[in-house]
Chains A and B, each alone.
Chain A
Amino acid sequence: MSEIEENKPKPEPKPVEKKKPDPRKKLAKPDKMLILNSSPHLHTTKSVKSIMWSVVIALFPAMAMAIYYFGLPAVWMILTCVAAALGAEIIMNLMKGEKITIIDGSAIITGILLALTLPPSFRLTSAALGSIVAITLGKHIFGGLGYNIFNPALLGRAFLQASFPVAMTTWSNPITPKFENTDAISTATPLGSFKFEKIFTDYSDMLIGNIGGSLGETSAIAVLIGGIFLLILKNADWRIPVSILVTVTIFGSIFWMLNPAQYPDPLFHILSGGLLFGAFFMATDMVTSPITTKGAWIFGIGIGILVVIIRLFGGLPEGVMYSILLMNGATPLINRYTRPRIFGESKK
């Protein structure tokens, strides 16, 4: 007995103590259900990464048409802008001492979007400068992705527009049979030729993109395909492009009906310039557009009205960029005034 008594206490306490925590740990798993979390409780499978890469895929038709119409320079332009954007992103990440965020695709999108809004014959070094400005001043100065007030790509473009006003409005011909016999190496955009010379461009050419203009905005069909792909995936708020296009149609037709000789018809408004591209890819940027549904309508209507006003009465032929940037600036206000009432809160 003495042997057993002596032996027993020695080995027993240790294994018992060791074994006890194990079942507790297994029990602890269901206990986690009781941990209190603040909302949101429902999570989507979407991530920044998946949304961003879907935008890159949605931009493929526009990029393909850009390369088809403007050839190798378009390829170099896109590659330069993307490379400069990625480089700037890495440098800013290192300066801020944070994780390198080039994988999330946002810098690639900024690069592609900027490249597609530049004239085909634009200098590559200047394009790279625009890309760097877009990432550093447009995004990281404000704190990185999610904190920027203005769409980075458009900010980069606005910087280039102010820096190189002549180069930014020199449009070279698409390399298609239509332009083979012309002597001039540069052309005007449909908006420019209408504004300054009152010449209409053929709608079929504008639809497929056989016109002068920025790399990615000429082909309405390619932009529409990519845009609708984004809307089907619900990675862009459909209210924004719809409200922009409807507003431009209504507002544009009012002026057209008042004086058809002076003002272009609404279809011309929609097919020309960067309106479709801006409406589907720039205005729908999740960071810089309102988060409420009512706000999205106000945002889109505001852009539509500004576009028509700038195009018809401004000094510039095209106003999509400035319209979107202005409404970006108004987004925090729109968010504040369209905030839904908390359940049970009384009306004032």
Chain B
Amino acid sequence: MAKKKTSLYREFVKGLWDDNPVLRMLLGLCPALAVTNSAINGLAMGMATTFVLLSSSIIISLLRKVIPHQVRIAGYIVIIATFVTVADKFLAAFLPEISKSLGPYVPLIVVNCLILGRQEAFSSKNNVGRSILDALGMGTGFIFVLVVLGGIREILGSATLFNLQILGDWFNPWMIMILPPGAFLTLGILIGLGNWLNERKVKV
């Protein structure tokens, strides 16, 4: 029960860097790699995932004493799938273009390891308040990485950021960056840079 002693602030902040879902825990890499060919796609994906994470965290945290231990994963999946459907229909109704460009990756949020992982590791053991903070922190960290990843790939791959031309005609877009190899290269370099920074922080 040492976990109970961590401050509420800590519960939120840990998702931003120290336990960042993508950079530190390497969870949810499928959407992080697949849809980040532009910053706006990354942002939409991050928001949708955060919405699902937050809503299902609240419900699962409330029901944590009701769900039988043996069938908990199936129970979590049903709850998560409900919110994924909500998010999917919402995007299709109000943001049809983004929904189109995200394609099958919105329904696939249901199998995002980040969400199930947080329910299993956190929400099912903590009260609602802490679960909300945890989900918000993790979601913000996820959005942050997806937007940075999408931003870098969009700038280098198509010379724009959030669909605004930011690099002049002198710049030749690196087509590789909006292709799958660009996602792997950028994510790898980001994780490497994160580790490098952490190493230096410890030394200092």
Contacts and interface: CB of A to CB of B under 8 A. Distances in A.
A187 interface: no
B185 A165 contact: no
B181 A164 contact: no
Nearest to A95: B196
A164 B175 contact: yes
B180 to A, nearest CB: 10
A123 B192 CA distance: 30
A338 interface: no
A137 interface: yes
A294 to B, nearest CB: 33
B200 to A, nearest CB: 11
B176 interface: yes
B176 A163 contact: yes
B176 A162 contact: yes
Interface string A244-259: 0000000000000000
A129 B173 CA distance: 12
A167 B172 CA distance: 10
Contacts of B177: 163
Interface string B151-175: 0000000000000000000001011
- Interface SS, B side: helix
B179 interface: yes
Contacts of A164: 172, 174-175
Interface string A121-158: 00101100100000001000100000000000000000
Which one of A125, A141, A163, A167 has the greatest number of beta carbons of chain B within 10 Å? A163
A123 B175 contact: no
A162 B179 contact: yes
A129 B176 CA distance: 13
A162 B192 contact: no
Nearest to B192: A141
Contacts of A95: 196
A94 to B, nearest CB: 13
Nearest to B185: A137
Nearest to A137: B185
Nearest to A141: B192
A123 B176 contact: no
Interface residues of B, number: 10
A179 interface: no
How big is the A interface, by class? 10 to 19
Contact of B172 (A123, A137, A159, A162): A123
Nearest to A129: B174
A126 B172 contact: yes
Nearest to B173: A163
A163 B192 contact: no
Contacts of B172: 123, 125-126, 164, 167
Nearest to B157: A163
Contacts of B181: 162
Contacts of B174: 129, 163-164
A275 B181 CA distance: 26
B176 A159 contact: yes
A129 B177 CA distance: 13
A118 to B, nearest CB: 14
Contacts of B185: 137
A165 B172 CA distance: 12
> Which one of B172, B177, B179, B181 has the greatest number of beta carbons of chain A within 10 Å?
B172
Contacts of A129: 174
Contacts of A159: 176
B177 to A, nearest CB: 8
Contacts of B176: 159, 162-163
A123 B170 CA distance: 11
Contacts of A123: 172
Nearest to A123: B172
B199 to A, nearest CB: 11
Interface in B36-54: none
A129 B181 CA distance: 16
A125 B174 CA distance: 12
Nearest to A165: B175
Nearest to B174: A163
Given A123-B172, A159-B176, A163-B177, 11 more contacts: A95-B196, A125-B172, A129-B174, A141-B192, A162-B175, A162-B176, A163-B174, A164-B172, A164-B174, A164-B175, A165-B175
5 contacts: A126-B172, A162-B179, A162-B181, A164-B174, A165-B175
Interface of A: 95, 123, 125-126, 129, 137, 141, 159, 162-165, 167
Shortest 10 CB-CB contacts between residues of A and residues of B: A162-B176, A163-B174, A163-B176, A163-B175, A159-B176, A162-B181, A126-B172, A164-B172, A162-B179, A165-B175
